[in-house]
Amino acid sequence: MECQQWPEPVIRVQALAQSGLDKIPERFVKPESVRPMVNQKKSDTNDDDINIPLIDLKGLTEEEAARQVGEACREWGFFQVVNHGVRKELMKKAREVWREFFMQPLEEKEKYANSPTTYEGYGSRLGVKKGAVLDWSDYFFLHYLPLSLRNHSKWPSLPPSLRKVIDEYGEEVVKLGGRMLKLLSMNLGLQEDFLLKSFGGDLEEGLGACLRVNYYPSCPQPDLTLGLSSHSDPGGMTILLPDDHVSGLQVRQADDWITIKPVPNAFIINMGDQIQVLSNAIFKSIEHRVIVNSNKDRVSLAFFYNPKSDLLIQPAKELVTEDRPSLYPPMTFDEYRLYIRTKGPSGKSQVDSLNSSSSSNKSSS
């Protein structure tokens, strides 16, 4: 059973940051081994400028687009994309309405306070483990699809344009997600609608889609904490609209953390655990985290494009061979996401634990 309430009184990080403290409370201090400066490669200060692939969809044939997207997802599980078809004005408005939402007085936001039962609404923690070290962020989580779960009364009523902007924004982002599933299916050598169908996208009330808007306040001691702890995304695919004036998202590459430098008007797309499972680990769901800084706040919109929550997800049978046996047992996304909702962000421990032969499972603590 999911917990009905948070295990401790909720701390709104934005309000805490605004109180002007010069030391962060103990609850936010991470163990030394996971603090931001450990093993950090700063791509923005590095001469050979390591960054995730950038894909420009303009003028590419389907085959070429599938090759580039597939390659990025095999090697990195992450890429940036421009000329993706989502209107720039909508991207700008979407950022603006959410920034406005978070700038409102606390009382207005508290009307939407969430609980761990559904996570819908205004929240400040992920996971219900009592005594957990907390992340330096607040968020707003809402359901976009299926339509039966889209409930405008659970979305902020202010600013007044928010609901309409997010309806329109979601529509274009869902289209982009569908296009990506097609390119990924092609790259796997499968029918181009394979992934869409596996996600239930061909059914009435099929696909799932949620939006998590993250608000990372500036932080007096950014070296001691994280905006969002290391995790992989449990769902299908994440289409992230990063802040346009400050970076913060880091991707794990072996033992290093690479800071992504957002390209203007780009989305950052990454594979979630369900695509890793469906592709029998050909596409990788990579660990990532968010760092904060001392003088700038940051807003990001993570759009999670997910399978219908009660379909069984398992490796495509075409991708299971004698040489490459099925790495994961069938499971619904509903069952799967209980883990992160209970434990909070914990690296890649969940998807790895499903795979009985994985090395991280053998050595898991």
Task: List residues near ligand OGA by CB under 6 A.
Answer: 212, 214, 228, 233, 240, 242, 248-249, 288, 290, 300, 302
Which residue type, as a one-letter code, is found at position 34?
V
Instruction: Identify which of residues 127 and 248 has a Cβ nearer to ligand OGA in the complex.
Output: 248
Helix residue ranges, H only, 32-87: 62-75
Instruction: Identify which of residues 200 and 345 has a Cβ nearer to Ni ion in the complex.
Output: 345
* Partner that binds at residue 212, options ligand OGA, Ni ion, none, CB closer than 5 to 8 Å by kind: ligand OGA
To ligand OGA, the closest distance from the beta carbon of 318 in angstroms equals: 30
Instruction: Identify which of residues 241 and 316 has a Cβ nearer to ligand OGA in the complex.
Output: 241
To ligand OGA, the closest distance from the beta carbon of 137 in angstroms equals: 8
Instruction: Using alpha carbons, select from 37, 12, 10, 6 the residue that is nearest to residue 217.
Output: 12
DSSP, res 99? H
User: Cis peptide before 159, with omega less than 30 degrees from 0?
Assistant: yes
Instruction: Identify which of residues 198 and 270 has a Cβ nearer to ligand OGA in the complex.
Output: 270
CA within 13 Å, CB half, 189? 4
Instruction: Identify which of residues 182 and 288 has a Cβ nearer to ligand OGA in the complex.
Output: 288
Backbone angles phi and psi of 170, in degrees to 5: -60, -40
DSSP, res 113? B
For 157, other C-beta atoms within 10 Å of its C-beta total 13
Site string for Ni ion, 208-247 (x = CB under 5 A): -------------------------x--------------
To ligand OGA, the closest distance from the beta carbon of 276 in angstroms equals: 15
Q: Is 218 exposed, middle or buried (0-12, 13-18, 19+ CB in 10 A)?
A: middle
* Cβ-contact 60, 68 below 8 angstroms: yes
To ligand OGA, the closest distance from the beta carbon of 266 in angstroms equals: 13
* Partner that binds at residue 290, options Ni ion, ligand OGA, none, CB closer than 5 to 8 Å by kind: ligand OGA
List residues near Ni ion by CB under 5 A: 233
